[in-house]
């Protein structure tokens, strides 16, 4: 079919790895997952960059923006029941699909709230819907990550996810400025509402492609062999055998705290301090996407050559980004900061996701992804509270400065304590047959990828 040949040619152009040696079912899974990311990104391009601006258009203040950011972080706790359901049922794909449907239904709720309710009530319902987007996304995240690790072979994860992320960046590059100009043309908040309904419709296509992926294969139950204590080691005992996972989670949580101190307020800064309209903010976000595209194209090769931890070292500039934002008064300055942000986040985010997959065991992976996600989110949830308080107290300068300091601390912890040699050692330790213990990271798009928005 011409359409199938065209899609394959497009995927190869974007760096899609050679999968001819894989079974047909595996090839189908990889293609469906790739297109799932493509359409999820297209949907997100019309909505995710404009959530904060939509709340501002409805009359939300900085305190409410900080509150919804905090609650969205705390909603990551939904990854725990999500992991429990995935572990207990073994139906990873079904958990992701059902959580995805609930996640997408939040966009129509945001559209309807100001049409049905008046004044502050519409703001609070829209805030609730935003928290719901995070909650239902996190509900499916552990199963999403675990299933991704199963059908993407480890030797091609760098190239495959880089190709998928390149497609994501290209579609966002095209759609984000269109969404921003649509808001400028239609006006606020109606322009945002049109964008959200477009996002809802497109996101259903991404769910269709994800539904074509094969389900997790539940291993047959075998009689339990004797162990030192007559049972499988407890969770704490298992975690002690995963030093890379623990160190990575601690460092990533610290970095996330720094990100959330300032990240939710960058758009507030551009809209209220620098005076940018939604179309201009959309253009600056597009520049960020372009830089991320360039970075991903390069980082995919670097990742497969050097490994995830070394590719994450390219994110060292992340610590300086909030301070750079303090000098932004003109659109070209915002575009420059966004370009730097896109380049530096691309290496960190790609490596973070693959490091998470690499340092967690195949069996019960959803529970470890949930531990990583929940720990990170609980720590990061303090960030918007601190940031909002500092903005009210002293403005953007102390807020962005503190964000840079905490980010730097997280990166120092990562460079000092997480290394490729420790990762390999952890894999070897976990791979040992100790009482049935098995062997051994994203984002806007599908749930599950650890990593923050590149603009933050």
pLDDT at 290 over 70: yes
pLDDT at 155: 76
Nearest to 133 by CA among 194, 85, 196: 196
The residue written with tokens 């992804």 in the block is 369
Residue bearing the bigger pLDDT, 331 or 231: 331
**Average pLDDT over every residue of 244-262:** 93
Specify the CATH number for 22-218+235-431; select among 3.40.50.300, 3.20.20.150, 1.20.1250.20, 1.20.210.10: 1.20.1250.20
pLDDT at 7: 64
In the chain, the percentage of residues whose pLDDT exceeds 70 is 84
Distance of CA 117 to the CA centre of its chain: 31
For the chain, domain boundaries = 22-218+235-431
Least confident of 61-70, 144-153, 218-227, 332-341: 218-227
pLDDT at 328: 94
The residue written with tokens 């650890």 in the block is 450
**Average pLDDT over every residue of 96-110:** 95
pLDDT at 392: 86
The mean of the pLDDT values for the chain is 82
Structure tokens at 299: 């980082």
**Average pLDDT over every residue of 345-349:** 87
pLDDT at 202: 96
The half-sphere exposure of 234 on its side-chain side, counting CA atoms within 13 A, is 3
Structure tokens at 196: 């959200």
Residue bearing the bigger pLDDT, 304 or 344: 344
The three state secondary structure string of the chain is CHHHHHHHHHHHHCCCCCCCCCCHHHHHHHHHHHHHHHHHHHHHHHHHHHHHHHHHHHCCCHHHHHHHHHHHHHHHHHHHHHHHHHHHHCCHHHHHHHHHHHHHHHHHHHHHHHHHCCCHHHHHHHHHHHHHHHHHHHHHHHHHHHHHHHHCCHHHHHHHHHHHHHHHHHHHHHHHHHHHHHHHHHCCCHHHHHHHHHHHHHHHHHHHHHHCCCCCCCCCCCCCCCCCCCCCCCHHHHHHCCHHHHHHHHHHHHHHHHHHHHHHHHHHHHHHHCCCCHHHHHHHHHHHHHHHHHHHHHHHHHHHHHCHHHHHHHHHHHHHHHHHHCCCCCHHHHHHHHHHHHHHHHHHHHHHHHHHHHCCCCCCHHHHHHHHHHHHHHHHCHHHHHHHHHHHHHCHHHHHHHHHHHHHHHHHHHHHHCCHHHHHHHHHHHHCCCCCCCCCCCCCCCCCCCCCCCCC
**Average pLDDT over every residue of 208-234:** 65
pLDDT at 104: 95
pLDDT band at 422 (very low <50, low <70, confident <90, very high): very low
pLDDT at 233: 62
In the chain, the percentage of residues whose pLDDT exceeds 90 is 40
Compute the distance between CA of residue 161 and CA of residue 441 in angstroms, rounded to an integer: 11
The residue written with tokens 């400028």 in the block is 184
pLDDT at 210: 94
Radius of gyration of the chain (CA): 21
Compute the distance between CA of residue 313 and CA of residue 323 in angstroms, rounded to an integer: 20
pLDDT band at 128 (very low <50, low <70, confident <90, very high): very high
| 176-210 tens-digit pLDDT | 889 989 999 999 999 999 999 999 999 999 999 99
Residue 395, number of CB atoms within 10 A of its CB: 13
23 burial type by CB count under 10 A (0-12 exposed, 13-18 middle, 19+ buried): exposed
**Average pLDDT over every residue of 25-45:** 90
**Average pLDDT over every residue of 247-266:** 93
| 260-289 tens-digit pLDDT | 999 889 988 999 889 999 889 989 988 988
pLDDT at 440 over 60: no
pLDDT at 33 over 60: yes
Compute the distance between CA of residue 282 and CA of residue 384 in angstroms, rounded to an integer: 23
Residue 331, number of CB atoms within 10 A of its CB: 17
Least confident of 194-203, 232-241, 264-273, 325-334: 232-241
pLDDT at 449 over 50: no
Structure tokens at 212: 């074509």
| 389-415 tens-digit pLDDT | 898 898 999 999 999 999 999 999 999
pLDDT band at 370 (very low <50, low <70, confident <90, very high): confident
**Average pLDDT over every residue of 317-339:** 94
Structure tokens at 187: 């006006």
């Amino acid at each position: 079919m011409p359409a199938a040949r065209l899609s394959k040619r497009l995927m190869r152009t974007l760096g899609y790895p050679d999968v001819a040696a894989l079974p047909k079912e595996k090839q189908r899974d990889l293609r469906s997952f790739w297109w799932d990311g493509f359409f999820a990104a297209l949907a997100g391009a019309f909505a995710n960059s404009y959530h904060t601006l939509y709340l501002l258009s409805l009359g939300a203040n900085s305190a409410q923006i900080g509150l919804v950011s905090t609650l969205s972080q705390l909603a990551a706790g939904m990854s725990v029941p999500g992991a429990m359901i995935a572990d207990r049922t073994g139906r990873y794909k079904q958990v992701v699909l059902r959580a995805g449907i609930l996640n997408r239904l939040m966009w129509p709720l945001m559209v309807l709230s100001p049409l049905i309710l008046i004044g502050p009530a519409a703001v609070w319902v829209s805030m609730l819907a935003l928290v719901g987007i995070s909650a239902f996304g996190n509900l499916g995240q552990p199963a999403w990550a675990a299933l991704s690790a199963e059908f993407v072979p480890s030797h091609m994860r760098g190239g495959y996810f880089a190709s998928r992320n390149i497609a994501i960046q290209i579609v966002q590059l095209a759609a984000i400025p269109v969404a921003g100009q649509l808001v400028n043309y239609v006006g606020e908040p109606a322009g945002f509402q049109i964008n959200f309904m477009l996002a809802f419709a497109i996101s259903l296509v991404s769910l269709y492609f994800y539904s074509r992926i094969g389900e997790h294969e539940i291993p047959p139950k075998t009689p339990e062999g004797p162990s030192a204590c007559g049972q499988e080691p407890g969770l704490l005992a298992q975690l002690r055998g995963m030093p890379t996972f623990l160190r990575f989670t601690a460092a990533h949580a610290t970095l996330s705290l720094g990100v959330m101190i300032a990240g939710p307020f960058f758009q507030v800064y551009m809209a209220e301090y620098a005076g940018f309209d939604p179309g201009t903010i959309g253009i600056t976000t597009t520049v960020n996407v372009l830089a991320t595209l360039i970075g991903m194209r390069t980082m995919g090769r670097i990742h497969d050559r050097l490994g995830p931890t070394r590719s994450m070292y390219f994110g060292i500039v992340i610590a300086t980004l909030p301070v750079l934002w303090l000098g932004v008064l003109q659109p070209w300055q915002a575009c420059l900061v966004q370009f730097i942000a896109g380049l530096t986040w691309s290496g960190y985010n790609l490596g973070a996701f693959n490091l998470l997959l690499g340092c967690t065991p195949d069996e019960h992976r959803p529970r470890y992804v949930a531990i990583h996600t929940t720990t990170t989110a609980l720590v990061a949830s303090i960030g918007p509270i601190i940031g909002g308080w500092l903005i009210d107290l002293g403005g953007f300068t102390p807020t962005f400065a503190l964000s840079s300091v905490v980010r730097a601390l997280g990166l120092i912890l990562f460079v000092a304590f997480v290394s490729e040699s420790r990762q390999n050692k952890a894999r070897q330790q976990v791979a040992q047959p100790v009482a049935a213990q098995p062997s051994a990271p994203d984002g806007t798009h599908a749930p599950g990828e650890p990593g923050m928005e590149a603009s933050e």
